[in-house]
Amino acid sequence: MNRNGSDKNHVLGIDIGGTGIKVAPVDLSSGKLLSDPQKEATPRPATPDTMIPVVEKLVNHFQWEGTIGCGFPGIVKRGIIYSAANLDDGWLEFPLRDKLSKRFSLPISLINDADAAGLAELKFGVGKKWSEPGSGVVLFFTLGTGIGSAIFLDGKLLPNTEFGHMELRGKDAEEWAATVVQEKENLSWEEWGKRVNEFLLKMEFLFSPDVIIIGGGISEDPQKFFPYLTLETEILAARMANEAGIVGAAMSSRI
């Protein structure tokens, strides 16, 4: 197995999150990780100065010489960060793609973390049949430190949707229904599940999706909260759990 990136189908995926940073080489033809991810907690304060050295350390582990794809938990356009709700404001307008590309002297693509996870689930996970022409509208959400969102029409992504910041009960939806809120407020599965339901009902009404896919670590326990969801739309738990972010980050090098 070639791990250093000289095989064009092998791309190093970096998943930068509000809680942790993960890096692993990905085989783009199978959507599988080529080795266990290297992980570190997201340092606090979560500024470019504290986080980039962590990314660098994790990447250096792989002695990578090929392409890199990176997911980031905020709005990303043309390699620049425009929001970072769960990180430090020092990220705003930060040219992350150029900074990383210069550090590693390698080509780098950058994508929103939820867009990345959605891409991976549609191609390699539970959403395969939803990526074909005529398959319709897919809404994908990650419920974690924040609420991440991605929307697809016939498998094509509309990037940077940020539905987790839609107003719900007078605040950002993610401040009311993200997974971390369940922990922080010590909510039962029923209490939290009903909050997620309220968020999803609003999304369903606004977008009339053909399917809704729920990703993030919580997708491994759908039986705990799916019983409280009262949507008309088919709802599926993602299959790739936390690997989707790394795989989709690597996939961003091809779009």
Residues lying near ligand BGC in the complex (CB under 6 A): 18, 73-74, 83, 85-86, 112-114, 142, 145-146, 148, 162, 164, 174
Q: Are the C-beta atoms of 16 and 51 separated by less than 8 Å?
A: yes
Q: Which CB sits closer to ligand BGC, 62 or 225? A: 225
Give the residue with the Cβ less far from ligand BGC, 135 or 142: 142
**DSSP bridge partners of 109:** 69
Work out the burial of residue 16: count CB atoms within 10 Å of its CB; fewer than 13 is exposed, 13-18 middle, 19 or more buried.
buried
Residue at shortest CB range from ligand BGC: 146
Q: How far is the CB of 18 from ligand BGC (least distance, A)?
A: 6
148/209 with CB nearer ligand BGC: 148
Q: Least CB distance from residue 173 to ligand BGC, whole Å?
A: 10
Residues in the chain: 255
User: Distance (Å, rounded) from C-alpha 66 to C-alpha 53?
Assistant: 20
- Collapsing DSSP to helix, strand or coil, 139 comes out as strand
The residue among 21 and 34 lying less far from ligand BGC, judged by its C-beta, is 21
We find the least distance from the C-beta atom of residue 174 to ligand BGC, in angstroms, to be 5
CB of 192 to ligand BGC, least distance (A): 17
Task: State the nearest-atom distance from the C-beta of 162 to ligand BGC, in Å.
Answer: 5
Q: CA dihedral defined by 198, 217, 94, 123, rounded to 10 degrees?
A: -90
Which sign does the torsion angle of CA 79, 84, 88, 93 carry? Answer: positive
Residue 158 sits at φ, ψ, to 5 deg, of: -100, 105
The residue (of 142 and 242) whose beta carbon lies closer to ligand BGC is 142
